[in-house]
Amino acid sequence: MPIEINSWPFPGLRGCVAAIFAGMLLSCTAEPMKHESSGGVVAVYGLKVELSPLKSRLKLDEPMELLFSLKNQTSEPAQILPWGTPLEDILSADIFTVIHSGKELSYTGRMVKRAKPQQSDYLSIAAGETVQQTVQLSEAYDVSEIGTYRVKFVPLTGIQAYQLDEQQLLLPSEPVVFDRTAGE
């Protein structure tokens, strides 16, 4: 269940952390919302999110990594604020649901407080372009035990394009599965 942006525990981060993805708002308002889901892929408003494990069977000493991909499927460039998203080098917000043995794991990663974003903080994604980032889940969640882990990208996203009004959009992913074994 998404957290309402007004109940975010850090009100000063409201516009920053919640501002995760921005498609071209003009195309968002010109077309009805499109939602397609297949495997680890979800497409909304011309933005397609895909998660894929770099390695789905892991030994205890191996890092749990996934590849996050965001494709701009529109015919216009998109300005994305990457703060609090997998597009950052190190996670700065609890943006994944990680389930192990039927229990949701707590986020143990860093939390960042930022000033209002500037134009230079936005990432430009050209029409048809895909941006990718490897995410180290073991740096933000305790994934050290043997067993199966289900991971889903589930942020509350405030669509924020540079100099345009923020809107709310839930842009989840389908879950991916990791199996951690004792070794060999």
147 touches 180 (CB < 8 A): yes
The predicted structure's pLDDT at residue 45: 63
**Which residue type is seen at 157?**
T
Architecture of domain 5-170: Sandwich (2.60)
Where are the chain's structural domains?
Answer: 5-170
The sign of the dihedral angle between the CA atoms of 58, 62, 63, 68 is: negative
User: Starting from the edge strand earliest in sequence, which strands make up the sheet with 35-38, in order?
Assistant: 35-38, 41-44, 47-53, 65-72, 130-136
Q: Give the predicted TM-score (pTM) of the model.
A: 0.69
| Mean pLDDT split into 10-residue runs, the chain, 184 residues | 37 38 32 41 67 94 93 85 86 92 95 86 90 95 96 67 46 80 78
